[in-house]
Amino acid sequence: DGYRARAAYKLKEIDETFRLFRPGQVVVDLGASPGAWSQYLRRRFAPKVAGVGGAATGELDGTIVALDLLPFEPIDNVHFIQGDFREDAVLAQLEAALGGQPVNVVVSDMAPNLSGIGSADAARVAHLVELAVDFACSHLTPDGALVAKVFHGAGYDDLVQLFRSQFQAVKPSQPKASRDKSSETFLVGRGLKRRP
Protein backbone atom coordinates (compact mmCIF):
# COMPACT_ATOMS: atom_id res chain seq x y z
CA ASP A 1 0.00 0.00 0.00
CA GLY A 2 3.02 2.28 -0.15
CA TYR A 3 3.47 2.66 3.61
CA ARG A 4 7.02 2.92 4.94
CA ALA A 5 6.43 0.41 7.73
CA ARG A 6 3.80 -2.08 8.91
CA ALA A 7 3.21 0.23 11.90
CA ALA A 8 0.70 2.09 9.70
CA TYR A 9 -1.68 -0.86 10.00
CA LYS A 10 -1.46 -0.76 13.79
CA LEU A 11 -2.58 2.87 13.83
CA LYS A 12 -5.27 2.06 11.26
CA GLU A 13 -6.68 -0.69 13.52
CA ILE A 14 -6.57 1.59 16.56
CA ASP A 15 -8.33 4.32 14.60
CA GLU A 16 -11.01 1.92 13.35
CA THR A 17 -11.63 0.73 16.92
CA PHE A 18 -11.65 4.11 18.66
CA ARG A 19 -12.51 6.50 15.80
CA LEU A 20 -9.78 8.92 16.81
CA PHE A 21 -9.04 10.80 13.60
CA ARG A 22 -11.09 12.98 11.31
CA PRO A 23 -10.20 15.73 8.84
CA GLY A 24 -9.56 19.15 10.32
CA GLN A 25 -7.77 17.93 13.43
CA VAL A 26 -4.35 18.87 14.78
CA VAL A 27 -2.24 15.76 15.45
CA VAL A 28 1.29 15.46 16.84
CA ASP A 29 3.25 12.29 15.96
CA LEU A 30 6.04 11.63 18.49
CA GLY A 31 8.75 9.17 17.50
CA ALA A 32 7.55 9.55 13.93
CA SER A 33 10.41 8.10 11.86
CA PRO A 34 10.28 6.43 9.36
CA GLY A 35 6.89 8.07 8.89
CA ALA A 36 4.27 5.33 8.50
CA TRP A 37 1.93 6.82 11.11
CA SER A 38 2.22 10.27 9.53
CA GLN A 39 1.48 8.68 6.15
CA TYR A 40 -1.68 7.09 7.54
CA LEU A 41 -2.76 10.40 9.10
CA ARG A 42 -1.96 12.20 5.84
CA ARG A 43 -4.34 9.89 4.00
CA ARG A 44 -7.06 10.29 6.63
CA PHE A 45 -6.90 14.06 6.23
CA ALA A 46 -6.96 13.94 2.42
CA PRO A 47 -8.86 10.72 1.73
CA LYS A 48 -9.81 11.52 -1.84
CA VAL A 49 -6.29 12.18 -3.12
CA ALA A 50 -3.76 9.39 -3.49
CA GLY A 51 -0.35 10.15 -4.92
CA VAL A 52 2.67 8.19 -6.03
CA GLY A 53 3.54 5.25 -3.78
CA GLY A 54 0.26 5.47 -1.91
CA ALA A 55 1.03 8.76 -0.17
CA ALA A 56 -1.69 11.36 -0.27
CA THR A 57 -0.66 14.67 -1.78
CA GLY A 58 -2.14 18.10 -2.27
CA GLU A 59 -4.35 20.03 0.12
CA LEU A 60 -4.44 18.81 3.69
CA ASP A 61 -7.55 19.28 5.85
CA GLY A 62 -5.81 19.37 9.22
CA THR A 63 -2.36 19.79 10.74
CA ILE A 64 0.22 17.05 11.28
CA VAL A 65 3.43 17.79 13.14
CA ALA A 66 5.93 14.93 13.36
CA LEU A 67 8.98 14.74 15.63
CA ASP A 68 11.84 12.31 15.91
CA LEU A 69 15.53 12.13 16.80
CA LEU A 70 16.08 10.27 13.51
CA PRO A 71 15.83 11.72 9.99
CA PHE A 72 12.48 11.58 8.23
CA GLU A 73 11.87 11.42 4.50
CA PRO A 74 9.54 14.36 3.74
CA ILE A 75 5.78 13.77 3.46
CA ASP A 76 3.72 16.36 1.62
CA ASN A 77 2.25 18.92 4.06
CA VAL A 78 3.55 17.11 7.17
CA HIS A 79 5.69 19.45 9.28
CA PHE A 80 8.71 17.49 10.54
CA ILE A 81 11.00 18.58 13.36
CA GLN A 82 14.17 16.59 14.01
CA GLY A 83 15.27 16.70 17.61
CA ASP A 84 14.48 15.78 21.20
CA PHE A 85 11.27 17.42 22.39
CA ARG A 86 12.59 17.44 25.96
CA GLU A 87 14.90 20.24 24.79
CA ASP A 88 13.53 23.78 25.00
CA ALA A 89 14.70 24.71 21.48
CA VAL A 90 12.87 21.74 19.95
CA LEU A 91 9.76 22.41 22.01
CA ALA A 92 9.85 26.02 20.78
CA GLN A 93 9.92 24.76 17.17
CA LEU A 94 6.93 22.57 17.93
CA GLU A 95 5.01 25.45 19.50
CA ALA A 96 5.78 27.56 16.41
CA ALA A 97 4.58 24.79 14.07
CA LEU A 98 1.32 24.49 16.03
CA GLY A 99 0.81 28.25 15.83
CA GLY A 100 -1.19 28.35 19.03
CA GLN A 101 -3.62 25.64 17.91
CA PRO A 102 -4.62 23.14 20.60
CA VAL A 103 -3.87 19.51 19.72
CA ASN A 104 -6.68 16.99 19.19
CA VAL A 105 -4.62 13.81 19.27
CA VAL A 106 -1.05 12.93 20.28
CA VAL A 107 0.29 9.64 18.95
CA SER A 108 3.52 8.17 20.28
CA ASP A 109 5.26 5.17 18.76
CA MET A 110 8.42 6.10 20.67
CA ALA A 111 10.57 3.22 21.83
CA PRO A 112 14.08 3.29 23.30
CA ASN A 113 17.02 1.32 21.99
CA LEU A 114 16.58 -1.84 24.04
CA SER A 115 19.55 -3.27 25.92
CA GLY A 116 18.07 -6.66 26.75
CA ILE A 117 18.31 -5.88 30.47
CA GLY A 118 14.67 -6.06 31.55
CA SER A 119 14.66 -3.55 34.40
CA ALA A 120 16.68 -0.95 32.50
CA ASP A 121 14.55 -1.32 29.38
CA ALA A 122 11.31 -1.06 31.38
CA ALA A 123 12.57 2.17 32.95
CA ARG A 124 13.47 3.60 29.53
CA VAL A 125 10.07 2.71 28.09
CA ALA A 126 8.30 4.19 31.13
CA HIS A 127 10.28 7.41 30.80
CA LEU A 128 9.23 7.89 27.16
CA VAL A 129 5.59 7.19 27.99
CA GLU A 130 5.74 9.67 30.88
CA LEU A 131 7.14 12.30 28.49
CA ALA A 132 4.31 11.64 26.03
CA VAL A 133 1.70 11.95 28.82
CA ASP A 134 3.24 15.20 30.06
CA PHE A 135 3.28 16.60 26.55
CA ALA A 136 -0.30 15.52 25.90
CA CYS A 137 -1.56 17.04 29.16
CA SER A 138 0.07 20.36 28.25
CA HIS A 139 -1.20 20.54 24.67
CA LEU A 140 -4.41 18.53 24.21
CA THR A 141 -7.90 19.93 23.95
CA PRO A 142 -10.06 18.86 26.96
CA ASP A 143 -11.63 16.06 24.89
CA GLY A 144 -8.34 15.13 23.19
CA ALA A 145 -6.69 11.72 23.07
CA LEU A 146 -3.25 10.16 23.50
CA VAL A 147 -2.11 6.89 21.93
CA ALA A 148 1.20 5.61 23.33
CA LYS A 149 3.15 2.41 22.80
CA VAL A 150 3.94 0.46 25.97
CA PHE A 151 5.23 -3.04 26.61
CA HIS A 152 3.77 -5.72 28.83
CA GLY A 153 6.12 -6.51 31.67
CA ALA A 154 7.66 -4.64 34.56
CA GLY A 155 6.14 -1.20 34.94
CA TYR A 156 3.11 -1.82 32.72
CA ASP A 157 0.57 -1.49 35.56
CA ASP A 158 2.22 1.75 36.69
CA LEU A 159 1.82 3.21 33.19
CA VAL A 160 -1.86 2.22 33.11
CA GLN A 161 -2.27 3.99 36.46
CA LEU A 162 -0.47 7.06 35.08
CA PHE A 163 -2.95 7.16 32.18
CA ARG A 164 -5.90 6.72 34.54
CA SER A 165 -4.67 9.59 36.68
CA GLN A 166 -4.79 11.95 33.67
CA PHE A 167 -7.55 10.66 31.37
CA GLN A 168 -11.23 10.00 31.90
CA ALA A 169 -11.24 6.86 29.75
CA VAL A 170 -8.28 4.50 29.28
CA LYS A 171 -8.28 1.41 27.06
CA PRO A 172 -5.47 -0.92 25.99
CA SER A 173 -5.27 -1.95 22.35
CA GLN A 174 -3.31 -4.82 20.84
CA PRO A 175 -3.60 -4.50 17.06
CA LYS A 176 -3.53 -7.69 15.04
CA ALA A 177 -0.83 -6.04 12.92
CA SER A 178 1.63 -6.39 15.82
CA ARG A 179 3.93 -9.38 15.52
CA ASP A 180 2.64 -12.51 17.28
CA LYS A 181 5.42 -12.62 19.87
CA SER A 182 5.47 -8.87 20.46
CA SER A 183 4.70 -7.66 23.98
CA GLU A 184 3.73 -4.23 22.69
CA THR A 185 0.38 -2.75 23.60
CA PHE A 186 -0.98 0.70 22.88
CA LEU A 187 -2.70 2.64 25.63
CA VAL A 188 -5.44 5.00 24.48
CA GLY A 189 -6.40 7.80 26.86
CA ARG A 190 -9.34 10.08 26.06
CA GLY A 191 -10.66 13.20 27.76
CA LEU A 192 -8.33 15.02 30.13
CA LYS A 193 -9.37 14.99 33.76
CA ARG A 194 -10.05 18.41 35.14
CA ARG A 195 -7.37 19.79 37.38
CA PRO A 196 -8.57 20.46 40.96
Does an H or E element contain 157, and which?
Answer: helix 156-166
* Spatial distance between the Cα atoms of 185 and 178, rounded to a whole number of angstroms: 9
CB 145 within 8 A of CB 189: yes
Given its phi and psi angles, is residue 104 left (phi above 0), alpha (psi -120 to 50 degrees) or beta? alpha
With residue 135 as reference, give the H or E element that holds it: helix 118-139
Residue 177 C-beta-side C-alpha neighbours within 13 Å: 14
- Please state whether beta strands 140-151 and 103-108 pair in parallel, antiparallel, or not at all (unpaired): parallel
Contact 121, 112 (CB under 8 A): yes
Active site residues: 149
62 alpha-carbon distance from chain centroid = 16
